[in-house]
Amino acid sequence: MKKLTLALMSSALMFGSTAYAQDRTLGQIYTECGLGGIIGSAFENQETRNLVAISTNVTWDLGTTAISSNVSSPASCSGGEVKTAALIIQTYPQLESDLAMGEGMHLTSLLNAAGCATEHHSEVVNNLRPDFAQSVSSDSYTSKTRFEQAETLHQQFIKHAAASCNI
């Protein structure tokens, strides 16, 4: 009897925890979740974005990361803070270069992942660059881990993107 009760409780928890994940179609999972969802967000054109996202997810791991991220952390699939944090951690060196130049593919991808409309990109970047430059030029910058550097950039980005983007 105890085993039956335990099995029923486990099933209820499992179904309850995936209810939100089941609201998304397989097509949405492959275009919005996983590495493909992050990389695809760099493209303005929705058709190109979807094609890149699906191709990346299938090529990388047959979509298992997209599916598991949909189940384990569904909020990471639809943009916002989690997606921008993941993108910053994964592409920090490239973002550092893009911010130094004031433009670039990885910076555009970050802005798109945060839900920033194209007309707000310049405003967010122009407000972010001085804060980031101050961080990079500080004496303690080189002693920080890459994760700590990325965390600082994420906090600065959220501060400047919050008013103009859908974070």
Give the tens place of pLDDT for each residue, 100-147. Answer: 999 999 999 999 888 899 999 999 999 999 999 999 999 999 999 988
The residue among 76 and 151 whose pLDDT is bigger is 151
pLDDT band at 8, cuts 50/70/90? very low
> Which DSSP string do the residues of the chain spell out, in sequence order?
-HHHHHHHHHHHHHHHHTTTGGGS-HHHHHHHSHHHHHHHTT-SSHHHHHHHHHHHHHHHHTTHHHHHHHHH-GGGGS-HHHHHHHHHHHHHHHHHHHHHHT--HHHHHHHHHTT--GGGHHHHHHHHHHHHHHHHHSTTGGGS-HHHHHHHHHHHHHHHHTTTS--
pLDDT above 90 covers a percentage of the chain that reads 38
Q: Please give the pLDDT value at position 73.
A: 67
Q: Please give the pLDDT value at position 45.
A: 84
Q: Please give the pLDDT value at position 11.
A: 37
Mean pLDDT of 81-87: 76
The residue among 83 and 62 whose pLDDT is bigger is 62
Domain ranges for the chain: 26-76, 80-165
pTM as predicted = 0.58
